[in-house]
Amino acid sequence: MADFTSQLITAFITLFVIIDPFTSTPVFFSMTRKKTAAEKLEAAKTAVFVASAALFAFMLAGPLLFKLIGIELQHFKIAGGIVLFIIGLEYVLKITLPREKAETKVDLGVVVIGVPLITGPGALTASVVLVSTVGLPITAMAAALVMITTFIILLLAPKIMALLGETGSEVFSRIMGLLLASIAVNMILTGLAAAAIVPAG
């Protein structure tokens, strides 16, 4: 029992530090600050659901899927970084790129918070490593606890950001756009560096 608890705590801390929901919180606020309370709740649910789905799916089938379709983790980093950069650019320049369906109920920005901001390449890699070291059940439990914690933190975002005021929120939104773009550039560069080391299949 002691080993189980210790392994669960270790897995939780590992995933929590890598996912770092506090990084996603200001971005989530910037993307949802004009929404109603109900819409914010729905957005938080969507972001965490997308993040959880990606994380659990990768735990189970990620390595096999990547091998079957012939891609590596660095390719995922590059693609995720490009999408994240586009979202960041929208918030920095206050532009909105055309969407395929203007009336869709799923906000692309919220989805991007889920993947790759909450569940990014680091979290996906860590989940696979944890499964190989502490097993799938413990890793899955730790991931579920991290996602529940992340959901709660996202819901607290408005209260935290309310201290900034309207002008502060506007400035912060642009700063978060720059942060997103910077994270995206880092993801792309690390992905390109890894791709240069690992020959294309």
- Mutual angle of helices 73-93 and 121-134, in 10-degree steps: 140
| Residues 11-20 pLDDT 10s | 999 999 888 8
Query: So what's the pLDDT on residue 69?
Result: 83
The alpha-helical segments, DSSP class H, found in 105-164 are 108-112, 121-134, 136-155, 157-161
Task: Provide the 3-class DSSP secondary structure of residue 135.
Answer: coil
Task: Provide the 3-class DSSP secondary structure of residue 166.
Answer: helix
Please tell me which residue, 139 or 72, carries the higher pLDDT value.
Answer: 139
Query: So what's the pLDDT on residue 31?
Result: 84
What distance in Å separates the CA atoms of residue 181 and residue 84, rounded to the nearest whole number? 7
Average model confidence (pLDDT) across the chain? 82
Closest CA to 30 of 20, 43, 46: 43
Q: Supply the range of the domain harboring residue 103.
A: 2-197
**179 has a pLDDT exceeding 70:** yes
| Residues 139-177 pLDDT 10s | 999 999 999 999 998 998 878 777 767 677 677 778 877
- Mutual angle of helices 21-32 and 165-197, in 10-degree steps: 130
pLDDT band for position 183 (50/70/90)? confident
Kindly provide the b/e burial profile for residues 53-68, where b requires at least 16 CB atoms within 10 angstroms of the residue's own CB: ebbbebbeebeeebee
Query: So what's the pLDDT on residue 200?
Result: 52
Number of domains comprising the chain: 1
**104 has a pLDDT exceeding 50:** no
Which pTM does this prediction carry? 0.72
pLDDT band for position 49 (50/70/90)? very high
Q: Which backbone phi and psi does 85 adopt, to 5 degrees?
A: -65, -40
| Angle of CA points 31, 183, 82, to nearest 5° | 80
What distance in Å separates the CA atoms of residue 104 and residue 114, rounded to the nearest whole number? 17
Closest CA to 161 of 52, 63, 24: 24
